[in-house]
Structure formats: structure tokens, C-alpha cells
Amino acid sequence: MSIPIIDTHLHIWDLEKVQYDWLKGNTSLLARTYLAEEVLPSMQEVRVSQAILVQAANTIEETEYMLAVAQKHDWIRGVVGWLPLLDPDATLKQIEIFQKNGLYKNYFKGVRHLIHDEPDEHWLLQPPVLQSLQILADHQLHYEIVGVKASHLKAAIHIAQKIPSLNLMLDHLMNPPISDVHLFPEWNSLMKQISAFPNVYAKISGLGTQVKKGNAWVAADIQSCIEFAIHHFGANRCVCGGDWPVALLASDYKKTMGTYREVLEKILTKEEQEKVFHVNAAQFYVL
């Protein structure tokens, strides 16, 4: 029997309830409502037992929407939401609101901001943002970094060093440039640097879309990136995420999670699989 997985990266959105700026004018298959009920049968098919919802809009409204949905489904165990990090006072106030709400407190696990949509590549290094990140650490909340450029990874290194009490999660392994051999060495070097910080964790997710072969990608296309993550971060600091529905741009949920499982079962011992599939996520997200 295969080991159950905690999917640490699941998106949902209801376009009738929340606005998503990045979806305005989007003509892809993502430009519709995706509810939690839709993905559940596929999760069950590949033995994904629990999930963490991750923000896809820089708004409190979306965070509150995800928190409300989480309370309706026992398999949704946490929410990585959004806070106004440019305003430390507002960030602190909102954390207190969430943590005083008995229902929200159990689900609000961490914070993310769509920094790749910001014109300033160094958005994370602004003094008020750094102050807010320290506030997250003080309240046992983590920060997830979604980055697509080397500058985002360099910012993550700075934060890991400056705020060692803040746990960081690198979403999608910081989008390795699998399809661009010229950019790969810099990603490789920076990821090695950041892996040295014990407060930094790596999320094996979003890799199918990085291959840029549509649905034609296979395990061999992503195995070296996964092996890299396991080698440098260790089996104790890696987790697995499906990135649904964004990953649908490359494949369905069954293929995405099935391929990750195929690679990880090939390179890890059973004890290590349990850590990457389940144990690490339960510990990191305090489930």
C-alpha cells in the first residue's frame, strides 16, 4: 500500500466571490472557478489524504474565503494566506484578528505574496516588509516564497540569514529553469547556498509546467531537480505539492502527483518517503 500524501500546495478560487487580478484577460483553462469539491476524487485516486490551501490573490478577502472553505472540509488542514506586509501595524492587527478567532486560528498557518507580479524584483527586501516578516516569526507563522527570477532567490537568502527564527518554504523549488540550460547553473548555485540555512524548506511542486512540454513531460524530465532538492535540503526539509489547478496547464492531477510519487519512491527509502509525503508537512504546518 502506498504512503498517503499531504498535498502542501492546492489552490481554489471562486470568481463570483473573489477577484484575481492575474486572471483578468486570461484565456487559459485557469479562467474559471475551481472549487475544492472538484479535485477531491482525483486526490483520493492517488492517495492524497490532506491538503493545504495556498493564496492566489494579494487580498484579505481571498484569505478569509479559504479559511471559510477549510472549515467545511476535514481534509483541508491549513491555509497559507496573505497579509499586508508593506504595513507592519496592519499585519500585526490582522494576525491578532485571525488568532483571536477560534475557527480561523486552527487553520491560518502562514503567508505568501505574489512577488513575481511586483515590478520591483527586490520587493521582499523593503524595510517594512522585513519588519512584517519578523512579526510572522514572532507569531509562529511561516512565509512561503514564490519566485521566478534569480533576484527572488537572492532575496530569500538574505531573509533566511537576517531572520533565522522565520521558517521559509520555497514553493515549486523556486521554479528551476528546466527548459533553459543557460539559466540552470545560477539556480543551482543559489539553491545550494540557501539550502545551508536550517530554517528553509523546499516544496517539490510545479515542476511539470516548468518542463514546458505540455502534457508530454515524464518522470525523467524532473528527476534530477527532485534529486537535487533531496540531496541538498535532505529528506527532513522537503515536502510535496500538486499546484492544482495551475498544474493542469501541463497535466491532470493524477499524472502530476503520480509522477512525483514515482520519482520519490525510486530515490528514497520508505522512512524517507514518509517524511517527504507526510511527516514533514505535518510538522512544518503544525497540523
pLDDT digits 0-9 by tens, 115-136: 999 999 999 999 999 999 999 9
> What secondary structure letter does DSSP report for 162?
H
pLDDT digits 0-9 by tens, 225-242: 999 999 999 999 999 999
Overall domain count for the chain: 1
Give the pTM: 0.96
Distance CA 158, CA 143 (A): 14
CATH number at residue 92: 3.20.20.140
Domain that holds residue 233: 5-284
Distance CA 130, CA 117 (A): 18
Confidence of residue 2 (pLDDT cuts 50, 70, 90): confident
SS3 category, 180: coil
Confidence of residue 104 (pLDDT cuts 50, 70, 90): confident
pLDDT of residue 5: 98
Does residue 103 surpass a pLDDT of 90?
no
CA dist list (Å): 226 to 24, 145, 156, 261, 264 = 33, 18, 20, 11, 8
Distance of CA 201 to the CA centre of its chain: 10
